[in-house]
Amino acid sequence: MFDSIAIVGATGAVGGIIRQLLEERNFPFRKITFLASARSAGSKLKFRGETHTVEELTPESFEGIDLAIGSTPDPIAKDFVPWAVERNCVVVDESGYWRMDPRVPLVIPEVNPEAAFTHTGIIASPNCSTTQMVQALSPLHKAAKVKRVVVSTYQATSGAGVAGQRDLEAGTRAFLDNQPFKYETFAHPIAFNLIPQIGSEKQDGYTSEEIKMVLETRKILGDESIQVCPTCVRVPVSNCHSESILVETERKITVAEARKLFAATPGLKVVDDLANKSYPMPKDCDGDDATYIGRIRDDISSPNGLAFWCVSDNLRKGAATNAVQIAELLVKSAAGVA
């Protein structure tokens, strides 16, 4: 058990889910501190029946803190994580800033839990779109070695934060009322629209979100030879990311074998009955920690190809739940539990 823990970004959307999960999962600690920006400092939060005052995030915030779970933008993580590590605090960080640092393990507990124990003070949690895809790829990779992945994502507005969800809701109302609306988060209207760009332009016409999926997949699975071709699209859905995935493996994986592999993998749930119109949809996965798989079928264009559909709550497994699960790995390790 950690004596003292902190939640950084405690007042944000993901921070709120982290607080909820720590309560629901009875995470063990003696003292908890909630940290946020100066703007949010002084606000009150309810946790385990008690009222806590949010404190401003400063270097001194981590004095006496054993574990911090951080959900902040990259520039804030760049600063606060070293402050914590310098004070012997282990950080589970959800930002993108530390993920590709070769000294920092990038962990999905159902996929590569052993990597968490190689940390030197920082453990990174992957990008939300990467997390659900790699969860699904992992059993296929172990069984038949993944060679190539073509993925198209259908990413909810919650991936752009609370402001993204506000843009969807208020923009939709304005559209229906034939009223003008100034979008706060998105460069184009999201109501009744799709935006085929998430993140900034990076290399060869790919965006930062797409490059994350390429690099993070290889790091988590420990295989630099895996080829990934992603297209990331923002869609007018409030929460839960969906992905259409085509994977090629060294040997053929049949649909029946894939279904068994998915069903036997912790954290995955198979919902796949096309005849009865049963498959994962965002509205059914909202608030769930599992990653759902459906529409499993042969790739009719490739002899060793498999196609499937994947949906996951990006605020939970794609962010908060994965971070809390990493923290739980550390607790079990400290207690000597395998």
Catalytic residues: 128, 241
Structure tokens at 195: 């935006």
- Spell out the residues 6+ positions from residue 202 whose beta carbon is closer than 8 angstroms to its own: 208, 210, 211
Chain position carrying tokens 């609306």: 181
Is 61 within 8 Å of 6 (Cβ atoms)? Answer: yes
By C-alpha distance, which of 122, 154, 98, 151 is closest to 314? 154
What are the backbone angles phi and psi of residue 153, rounded to the nearest 5°? -100, 150
In the block, which residue shows the tokens 């920092």? Answer: 104
- Identity of the residue numbered 213: M
* 107, 123 contact by CB (below 8 A): yes
What CA–CA distance (Å, rounded) separates 271 from 37?
A: 41
- Determine whether 256 is exposed, middle or buried from the number of CB atoms within 10 Å of its CB (0-12, 13-18, 19+): exposed
Instruction: Take residue 282 and report the two structure tokens written for it.
Output: 């965002």
C-alpha dihedral, 14 to 15 to 17 to 21, nearest 10°:
130
Q: How far apart are CA 188 and CA 190, in angstroms?
A: 6
Residue 256 makes CB contacts below 8 A (sequence gap 6+) with: none
Distance CA 302, CA 234 (A): 28
What are the structure tokens assigned to 158, written together? 């919650």
Residue 215 CA to its chain's centroid (Å): 15
